[in-house]
Amino acid sequence: MVETKKIERQQLFQKAVTLLKEEEEQDIKQRYNVPFEWHKTDINNIMWGIWAPKTKNLGLIRIPSFALQDEIDAKTISIAALKILRKLMVNELKDTTSIVIDVRGNNGGSVLLERVLPQLFMPDYKPIRGQGVANKVTNAIMRGSLSSTLQRHSSQKSTSKLDDESDYKPIYVPNDFELLSGPQVTVGQAYVRPVGIFSDGRCTSACESLLADFQDLYGDVIFGEDIQSAGAGATSFHISTEIETELPKMFPPIPYRQELFYFSGKAITEPMTGVYRHDIRVGVHDGQKIEDIGVKTNYVIRPRLEDLVPYNGNYPSEHHQFDSISDLLYGFGIETGRFDLHFIAEPFTLVVPVGNFDIVAETQGMDEFIVASEHGKTIAHVKNVPTKRGEFRIPCSPVQPGISEGRIIISGLKKGKVLMRTIREVKHQPTLPSYIHLSIDTPQFKLQNKNAGTGIKHAGKSTDIQGWNYHSGGWRFGNGLISKN
């Protein structure tokens, strides 16, 4: 009798264990059996997705390299990439609770995109600085016979102030940022919730500058599979034929280079490069360099076995890492007050009537808005804004009088702290009933109060250069001749 009860207890225990295992497996399947895929964009090295098992809602942006597309110049492709990323922020990824930019394995490339990418996520961006490396090679190039061809290069300008015995040049803001500081690329913040960077020890050069930008100016949001990045935060240049010709002793041509080509015509030999500057950090790590040191990871999240081997193919890899990042970014959002923020006011270019206008925005979490023109004039200041998510209208006075266009800066505050600063273009145009149809029979009329917005063209059918407008005290026809009459 006692033996029978013992067997029954063992059977019940085994049944309970089996049920627990089945429930655990079912929970895993339900949690991770979700559709997930990387979506491609028009640029080869930029992909996106949303990691959303159960309570997670993490936006993912994958940038495996900043060498985007070789056949297009760096500035053009950087502007295109910026537009694509901004479009993702205000459309597909606008309702995610946080975003992580996955740059694992990113070995750098063009610094131009890296220089403008952070502005999409932080209210105030200060570009990383550079310090030139002074040695015989860089001095010979920047101060020697080739210096006249490098006058526009900020590193060359810095070198000209050196003593011959200097090891380093003065610290300066590289003109890589100057190249991308115009209206085309200064778009302001597009995403206001928490964002982090997912990296590893293979992150080098421009990739490391991105890590430093976020760690220095945004917060401790660097997640990595390794404790630090590679420590190669320097900028290099290719040794061109021109340099080899001018400095043959320093840069002798590679033997048999003319003969070493693939059938496709691509050279087999790799081009020689030289380092001419390294990055100097700003913000909380002001003055520190990246070269030889790298950027320390705030949270090391190494992959587990289940991250590398999918569970019966039911969920994608990296689930543990993305889950951990999502949880950590949620905590960062609570700490900084960003977790419940939301701001969408599209399109980027607002066409409004002449005079006062409203900015129609979808907002949450911010209780105050200040709108100013690009010249610093405040055109709106609204307090006691409802913090619940919903549509809100920001009443604004004109950016400029009459028919005009200009840029505005919208700042969102929470308890007096600026958490969002973004930019919009505003075009003041008359409403359709105010237009005058011009023809042979049109009576004579006189334009009064002429300003930069005064002009004539076929409304909605022709570009500005096909009409004429008032410019600098005269009438400009198309984009050429100016008449004083």
Per the structure, the count of domains in the chain is: 3
Q: Which token pair is 1?
A: 């009798």
Within a domain: 152? yes
Question: Residue 175 has what pLDDT?
Answer: 55
Assess whether 241 and 387 both reside in one domain. no
Within a domain: 10? no
Assess whether 316 and 363 both reside in one domain. no
d(CA 409, CA 429) in angstroms, rounded, equals 20
pLDDT in tens, the chain (485 residues): 556 666 666 666 576 556 655 655 555 445 444 557 789 998 888 999 999 887 889 999 999 998 876 556 777 888 888 899 999 999 999 999 999 999 999 988 877 888 888 989 998 887 777 777 776 777 666 666 555 555 445 555 555 555 555 556 666 566 554 444 555 557 889 999 999 999 999 999 889 999 999 999 999 999 999 999 988 877 666 666 656 666 666 667 666 666 666 666 666 665 666 666 778 888 888 888 888 889 999 999 998 876 776 544 444 545 789 999 999 999 999 999 999 999 999 999 999 988 899 999 999 999 999 999 988 999 999 999 999 999 999 999 998 877 778 899 999 999 999 999 999 999 888 776 666 665 555 555 566 665 555 555 544 444 555 555 555 556 555 555 444 44
Assess whether 245 and 155 both reside in one domain. yes
d(CA 173, CA 186) in angstroms, rounded, equals 17
Within a domain: 472? yes
Assess whether 319 and 358 both reside in one domain. no
- What are the distances in angstroms from CA 134 to CA 142, 162, 465? 10, 9, 48
Output the domain CATH number for residue 351. 2.60.40.2550
Of 195, 213, 217, 193, the closest CA to residue 203 belongs to 213
- What are the distances in angstroms from CA 47 to CA 24, 50, 351? 33, 11, 31
Write the DSSP string, 19-72. Answer: HHHHHHHHHHHHHH-S---PEE-SSTT-EEEEE-STT--EEEEE-S-B---TTS
Are residues 325 and 198 in contact, defined by beta-carbon separation less than 8 angstroms? Answer: yes
Of 423, 411, 414, 420, the closest CA to residue 346 belongs to 423
- Per DSSP, the three-state class of 84 is helix
Question: Residue 108 has what pLDDT?
Answer: 86
d(CA 118, CA 282) in angstroms, rounded, equals 14
Amino acid letter for position 128: I
Question: Residue 485 has what pLDDT?
Answer: 47
- Domain range enclosing 405: 342-428
Domain final position from 331, 355, 370: 331
Give the sheet arrangement for strand 404-414, strand by strand: 349-352, 417-428, 404-414, 368-373, 378-383
Assess whether 364 and 310 both reside in one domain. no
Instruction: Report the phi/psi class of residue 340: left, alpha or beta, with left for phi > 0 and alpha for psi in -120 to 50.
Output: alpha
Determine phi and psi for 458, rounding to 5 degrees.
-80, 110
d(CA 431, CA 352) in angstroms, rounded, equals 9
The one-character DSSP state at 357 is: E
Assess whether 311 and 355 both reside in one domain. no
- What are the distances in angstroms from CA 437 to CA 38, 183, 321, 453? 51, 33, 63, 18
Strand bridging mode 58-62 / 47-51: antiparallel
Question: Residue 356 has what pLDDT?
Answer: 94
Assess whether 278 and 144 both reside in one domain. yes
Within a domain: 108? yes
Assess whether 322 and 362 both reside in one domain. no
Domain final position from 273, 308, 331: 331
Within a domain: 24? no
Within a domain: 156? yes
**Other beta carbons within 10 Å of 183:** 10
Within a domain: 438? no
d(CA 122, CA 116) in angstroms, rounded, equals 11
d(CA 472, CA 477) in angstroms, rounded, equals 13
- Global pTM? 0.76
d(CA 289, CA 177) in angstroms, rounded, equals 18
Assess whether 323 and 349 both reside in one domain. no
Are residues 205 and 235 in contact, defined by beta-carbon separation less than 8 angstroms? Answer: yes
Residues comprising the chain, all counted: 485
Within its chain, how far is the Cα of 8 from the centroid?
64
Domain final position from 303, 331, 359: 331
d(CA 472, CA 279) in angstroms, rounded, equals 42
Assess whether 276 and 381 both reside in one domain. no
- Per DSSP, the three-state class of 16 is helix
Assess whether 159 and 198 both reside in one domain. yes
- What are the distances in angstroms from CA 21 to CA 12, 17, 18, 24, 29? 14, 6, 5, 5, 12
Assess whether 157 and 50 both reside in one domain. yes
